[in-house]
A and B are shown apart, each in its own frame.
Chain A
Amino acid sequence: MSKGNLLIVDDEKILLKRLRFNLEDYADTVYTAENGVEALAVLKEMEIHCIVCDINMPKMNGVEVIKTIRAEENEVPFIFYTGHGSSELMMEAAKYGAFDFLNKPELEGLEDVVQRGLSEGYARVQGKSITDESYISDYQKMLDEI
């Protein structure tokens, strides 16, 4: 069964390499880009089902990347990883539809989030319904806990 294609965007080459290594088992193909411009070029050529992106990059940050992609009506899931002091960028990115945010450098739970992101992104491209009613059961659970 196809897992989907992943794109990782980060200006730090070492981190890019590490993430590629950690995530290559979860996707069919892992593409990498060292900046936003490269990322957009990859997206033009390849079918990408999930993007993992550093939110804070020089020249073109993660917000600008997602904003540009969304402007082309591409709803690919975006997972951002953020460092300390990125709250404003996070809020901006969230306006364009973020899948999740993870903290650098631990990136705890990244594999699980990427799997879910790929699953949703792949289903979307396949034209499958991705209506997620889990929020209703989440709400019920929350009410039980209160």
Chain B
Amino acid sequence: MTETKRLVYLGNDEEFTDKLTELATEYIDQKWDLFSGEYSQGSLTSILADNGANIVYIDLDFVDSLENLFDEIVYIKRISQYKAILFTAILSSSEDTEKLMQIYSTGFQLSYIKGPGATDFIVDSLYIGLDEKVPMPRYAKATRINIDLRLGICSSLTTITNQGFGIDSDIERTEKVLEVDLPIFEDLEGNVFKIDTHRELSHFYPMTENYQLEYPFADAWEDVTNKTLQPETVETWLDIYSKNLISPPIIFKVFTEDSSLYHDIYMVSAENKIQVEICESIDEDLLSEEFQLKLPPLVFFDIDEEGNNTTEALSRIIGHIKLIEGYTPIVLVSSCPSKTEAFRKVFDYQTMICTPDKITKESFKLFTKSYMEKNSGPQANYYRVKHTDPLRAVDVLHDVYVQSLTEHELCFASPLNIPFFSTLHLTLPIDCFVTVIPSYYDLGSSKKGKHYLGLISGISEEERMLLRKFVNQIIFNPLEDFSYEEVKARFDRIEETSEEELKEQEAVAEEEIKKVENETFKRPEIRGKSKL
């Protein structure tokens, strides 16, 4: 039986839902339905628990607390069975770049600034989120861009200490440094930070890598330059800014495949201000690193010999725990066939409690509440940044080779492995965001690295018009020295272009569009790392 595809819209814009319904009816081949509602904390996990979702559209104008929304999305995106859900944001304005950066570094993959561009946005979402055959928008393409351009990989600042900071990102680097546009120390011009540790997992956000980076302290005998810092500078900053930072959250790990509990577990975690990570399966490669990084004081394990949470799996988890010096979390084993004493001896691990009962909302609440009553939190050896802190969303900088551009998409090459559906922040020619997608046409190859196609979003209709004019101009009058400076200069001059010239350029662009065949495209099979 074909499963029903589910679209979820949280907001209050009938015009949008009408458009969504119209396009979904036209392009979704299978049975589908649309759930409409409003967002409140816990509503997302509740909706997903009831009927699931393939694409979620959230109108942020109707969200009271972005902090709560981001918190819930981070929780959801860490759950394997929800990983493939496409989250999209709808906003009134693109002026707040910080907000857009936060959106893209929290688990959203597309955004739409309200205006006439709803069709493209919805079609893009169906291509990404539903794997449907859709007519990707056809626009004039400037093919001879061929410049090296610096862009940002949307990442999240996670932890801050007086020695360095942590970020979650999708970028996998093989060098020993990372370039991060860190908005903390005004006098620090350099962006290059030495990597202290790198893990192929994220600390808090739904990303693929975590980096712990060191501040570039000047050596004791050196003068401080614009590329180095003094420890006192960091201390002073922390003293002043720490009131905006938060203590590291207590993290509980819950090994269960019972999705009916996910909403209740989330509500308990939100109420107690803890972070709960649901683990539906055991990733052996990452297990040890996960525990070393997060040191959860409570580990819930609901035995299911028919699923992933077998007694052998528990044995492996405890094996990893025992390797970490000084770390003895309480392991709560539910649906346990044996008595506590028996299991303690089987695993040679004393800090374990077993119950034959299945984990329930009530038992989880009880264990959590009891723990919180006796614990004020972990030793704060780092600060954490709130989801909506202006510092939180950062760009990890990377140079790519831009080959072609339309007002809808960007084609570029990079030697890095960029996961599909990760998001990039471009500031030239305009401030926009690019979602890397499996291409629906052959991108060719070059010596500059692997080719990628990205969909542009997070721009208003006015910005789109500017981009269109820029593309038309490049088609009409190709670049000469293929440099950042030329591109910037050309873009800055757009407003000076006369009406007559604009019309001439548009006519040429129209001819280019006609050359592109009018067909529908289905997202190809994903080969390589993917965030969905």
Whether the Cβ atoms of B339 and A98 lie closer than 8 Å is: yes
B482 at the interface (CB under 8 A from A): no
Whether the Cβ atoms of A99 and B338 lie closer than 8 Å is: yes
Residues of B near A91 (CB, < 8 A) are 311-312, 315, 346
Residues of B near A99 (CB, < 8 A) are 338-339, 341-342
The 8 A CB mask of B336-355 against A (1 = contact, 0 = none) is 01111111011000010111
A97 to B341, alpha carbons, bound, how many Å?
12
B532 at the interface (CB under 8 A from A): no
User: How many A-B residue pairs lie within 8 Å, measured between CB atoms?
Assistant: 64
Chain B, interface residues (CB within 8 Å), range: 20 to 34
Q: Chain B nearest CB: distance from A88 CB in Å?
A: 10
Interface residues of A, count at CB 8 A: 22
Whether the Cβ atoms of A98 and B374 lie closer than 8 Å is: no
Residues of B near A41 (CB, < 8 A) are none
Select which of A90, A136, A142 is within 8 A of B345 by beta carbon. A90
Select which of B346, B354, B355 is within 8 A of A101 by beta carbon. B346
B330 at the interface (CB under 8 A from A): yes
Residues of A near B351 (CB, < 8 A) are 142
Whether the Cβ atoms of A101 and B374 lie closer than 8 Å is: no
Residues of B near A136 (CB, < 8 A) are 366
Select which of A95, A101, A144 is within 8 A of B337 by beta carbon. A95
The 8 A CB mask of B473-484 against A (1 = contact, 0 = none) is 000000000000
Residues of A near B337 (CB, < 8 A) are 94-98
With both beta carbons as reference points, the residue of chain A lying nearest to B334 in the complex is identified as A135
A98 to B338, alpha carbons, bound, how many Å?
5
Q: Could you show 14 A-B contacts with beta carbons less than 8 Å apart?
A: A94-B338, A94-B342, A96-B337, A97-B338, A99-B339, A99-B342, A101-B342, A132-B356, A135-B340, A135-B354, A139-B353, A140-B370, A142-B351, A143-B371
Q: Which 3 A-B residue pairings sit nearest by Cβ, starting from the closest?
A: A97-B337, A98-B342, A101-B345
User: Which B residues lie at the A interface, using CB under 8 A?
Assistant: 297, 305, 311-312, 315, 330, 332, 337-343, 345-346, 351, 353-356, 366-367, 370-371, 374-375
User: Which A residues lie at the B interface, using CB under 8 A?
Assistant: 87, 90-91, 94-101, 113, 132, 135-136, 138-140, 142-144, 146
- Besides the known contacts A95-B337, A100-B342, 6 further A-B residue pairs in the complex with CB atoms under 8 A apart: A94-B343, A138-B353, A139-B370, A142-B330, A143-B371, A146-B297
